[in-house]
Structure 1
């Protein structure tokens, strides 16, 4: 298979390996019932290496991006313009467990933007109006100047109803926020509302096309403590366990390398910190990564603002890895 047909994480893995090891030849291997590694490498020292590349990401993030990809764009006959909207979610895992779907949110977003359009004005005016309509602050107990629904609850204090009953039966049916389920999740489950931000003034679609929304999803994670590896090590372990179950590297005649390309923000942050040249020489403890069916594990990430590929190379199970960075040859 040609290199242009390979996934981005596979190309990044090959770029990193070629900058660390002297490679005389490489070959992308065809898939055969899911039991073939991705890459065969001939090293200058005569060794043959078979490499399998896997992308480590959160399931909820993958599903969110997949859902957004299916809506490029989300078309709605009620819209006369095309909108570019970024939707950020800092609770994507928990929201997925609660069955909250992006499609339902975007359908409500479309109705809200249709109301914005119906008031007329220039695209810039509509954009400013959309900012106000989509702002959850007036309904947030910590951001609202009036205290939002929680203050209303405190004033009414209905003794015959719990907060949950009052919210669902009295408040939510009349809540005028553009997507009330997010306010319910905020007040009952401490899930911050998803942020929908219009990225540019709406544009007129091409002739004969109805309006729509181009959805750009962003997921966030809580921060991490400096000097730790509590996010990084579990992500690498999980990737190893999943790949060892598949067994792509079991029946090969050569060294077996597993390359884990990280796409989890906190894990990437901790790997970047571990490889930071200005950090003290005492690197965080990364020796808790164990493996049995491969000879080496490489954990790889695009860090330092995309300028570098950061690598933790585990040559022995349970041992501290070699930490290094190389230029990202395909940075944009």
Structure 2
């Protein structure tokens, strides 16, 4: 087996506040990432995902535990590690005074790349990001999806061994998200190691070979998306709505209609192998939901099962 490009063992990050107990943002995470793998950290806002990414990116020191990036300790070899990483931050930090091509060229120069190489690489990355026709446009003239693609292209200027993506599609419309996913699929096919954080379960299922589900700084589960769904949920889910004032009462009547029943503020979830069969039983019982649907189980259901709450709050 190839040597992991990232290895974390009992990784802890605590923030000290005067007169108050330490706030533990990351609480003993252990995981490994193989070369060429697409690895995800899935969890709600505040779960510790971004803090973990900062430690992996060698821009934040750990409180305790062991961490190795490309065989190096990020607390001791930060500059060497950062030179071999690509970073796509949660918020776009492109230079608004420069156009798309100039943003790539200038960033390449920060890495000490010769001007001729920067120009060539910028043109390649503009094509990769489908932004050739926007090369001379200032950043403010680009849509949100275009800015994200440009930010990803910029993170690739130094041919990184690992690309870190923090919430890559937050705030984008569905069409822009799918275009961005396509660009990331192409990177996977090239063998680039991707490490991404997200609280979108469909994004994790689409992009991640393997992932950890994180909540309150701790790992709740680890595995491939399909394995996690198989281990922690049923094949299908029947969603029914009877109105927020009636869901709790009616949920008690649905006990035994499936493997388990979850009550959310706006709907009831019945987990079962046959979702349509559940709806038929509900109708036979004389119950008439306001709305109903059957869908396959997702990572959202895994998180709900493990933590008792929804991913997006």
Question: With structure 1 as the length reference, what TM-score do the two structures score?
Answer: 0.24
Structure label with greater radius of gyration: 1
Higher RCO structure, 1 or 2 (CA under 8 Å, sep 6+) = 1
Question: With structure 2 as the length reference, what TM-score do the two structures score?
Answer: 0.25
Which structure is higher in strand share? Answer: 2
